[in-house]
Amino acid sequence: MHYLRPVILLTLAYLALTANFQLLNIIAGFIIACLVILLLRPQPRKVNWRQFPQTMLALVRYFLVLIYDLIVSGVQVARIVLSPSLLIKPGIIAIHSTCRSEEATALNAHAITLTPGELVVEMSEDGTMYTHCLDASKSEEVLEQAQTMRVELLEKIFE
């Protein structure tokens, strides 16, 4: 019974992504959601309602920071591509994730990968993310600062 909420949420997400509200598509979305839940078998989590407003605020801040990072890094990559005279030093840097939960670590790696010019190529068991950057000389400091802010927000979201 505790799988009903995630199935409904996944079905609604499927319908929002497909923008098709025909009966067969609703049934297909429901079946896909059931299969995902059967494969993942999420464990029920107790919701701390006192922390809920802070969690929602942290989630909104996280999305705003992510959108800002996407825009800024997109402009930087466009500048690099359009002006080949800029000296860049591509390379792989190691960023240690201090997230306590696996979900937060995964979202953190996903946020790094989404930003243009950076890609998490591997994660070790201790949470170290090996990230390829277009300019590794500048990216290490910038990624560490962004990493600190993202980890702080993700910990508030997943606590």
Percent of the chain with pLDDT over 90: 21
Lowest mean pLDDT among 27-31, 50-54, 84-88, 105-109: 84-88
- Spatial contact of 131 and 117, defined as CB atoms under 8 Å apart: no
- Other C-beta atoms lying within 10 Å of the C-beta of residue 29: 22
Q: Measure the N-to-C terminal CA separation of the chain; round to a whole number of Å.
A: 24
User: pLDDT for 15-71, tens place per residue?
Assistant: 999 999 999 999 999 999 999 998 988 777 777 788 888 888 998 998 998 898 889
> Which pTM value belongs to this model?
0.68
Structure-token pair, residue 87: 């000296």
pLDDT value of residue 11? 93
Q: How far apart are CA 91 and CA 52, in angstroms?
A: 40
- 96: which 2 tokens? 């240690």
CB atoms inside a 10 Å sphere around CB 35: 12
Work out the pLDDT band at 138, boundaries 50, 70, 90.
low
pLDDT confidence bin for 95, thresholds 50/70/90: confident
Name the pLDDT band for 1 (thresholds 50, 70, 90): low
Average pLDDT, the chain: 84
**CA–CA gap between residue 71 and residue 52 (Å, rounded):** 29
